[in-house]
Amino acid sequence: MEGPLGARTLNPALRPVVEALHHVLAGGEVSVQLLQRGNADIVNELNLRAERATEESSSLGTAGDILSATV
């Protein structure tokens, strides 16, 4: 999200990504083409955070916890 409080919008570069995600979540299939690589250090950090979040959310259920998210 970007813009001032009360007038925030989705970055236009993310619109097709979100649209594709919605189709995947609805049972569709998408194809992704990376046009320009981002900063490798930031990409690696984000990938690591995603892996950790997946591991942590997987272990929550084993402890009897419930994970929920609101979109």
* 28-57 pLDDT tens trace: 999 999 999 999 999 999 999 999 999 988
Rounded to an integer, what distance in angstroms lies between the CA atom of residue 71 and that of residue 69?
A: 7
- Longest C-alpha distance within the chain, in Å? 42
pTM here is: 0.65
Q: Please classify residue 55 by burial: count the beta carbons closer than 10 Å to its beta carbon, then call 0-12 exposed, 13-18 middle and 19+ buried.
A: exposed
- List the domain boundaries for the chain: 12-62
* Each residue's pLDDT tens digit, 1-21: 889 999 999 999 999 999 999
